[in-house]
């Protein structure tokens, strides 16, 4: 099962590196967070303290939901301002 967690994290890193839109970046971050969460849950199960691993996983997922909601709001606002969700357009909002 730890290989599944590593594969999810690897897919997340690959998605972050190669996607050029904000939504692709958010999908990659979610995959990376899910892989890490699965790793923590599996570590808790293998240490015979499954409750702590599951509780830690729930807090990680709650934080990632907050991250996703802020990213989605930013993506919607960027689309209304610029017409697309390209990362280059996101960088142009600094000025």
pLDDT tens profile 33-88: 999 999 888 888 888 877 888 888 899 889 999 999 998 898 888 888 888 888 87
What is the value of pTM for the model shown? 0.81
Does 23 have pLDDT greater than 90?
no
Does 11 have pLDDT greater than 90?
yes
- Give Cα 29 to chain centroid, integer Å: 2
The kind and range of the H/E element at 34 are helix 22-46
**Residue 86 bridge partners (DSSP):** 21
Q: What secondary structure does DSSP assign to 62-92, as a single string? A: HHHHHHHHHHHHHHHHHHHHHSS-BHHHHHG
């Amino acid at each position: 099962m730890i290989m599944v967690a590593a594969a999810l994290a690897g897919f997340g890193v690959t998605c972050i590196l190669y996607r050029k839109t904000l939504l692709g970046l958010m999908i990659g971050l979610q995959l990376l967070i899910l892989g890490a969460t699965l790793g923590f849950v599996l570590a808790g199960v293998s240490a015979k303290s499954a409750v702590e691993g599951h509780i830690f996983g729930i807090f990680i997922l709650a934080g990632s939901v907050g991250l996703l909601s802020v990213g989605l709001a930013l993506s919607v606002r960027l689309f209304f301002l610029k017409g697309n969700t390209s990362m280059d357009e996101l960088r142009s909002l600094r000025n």
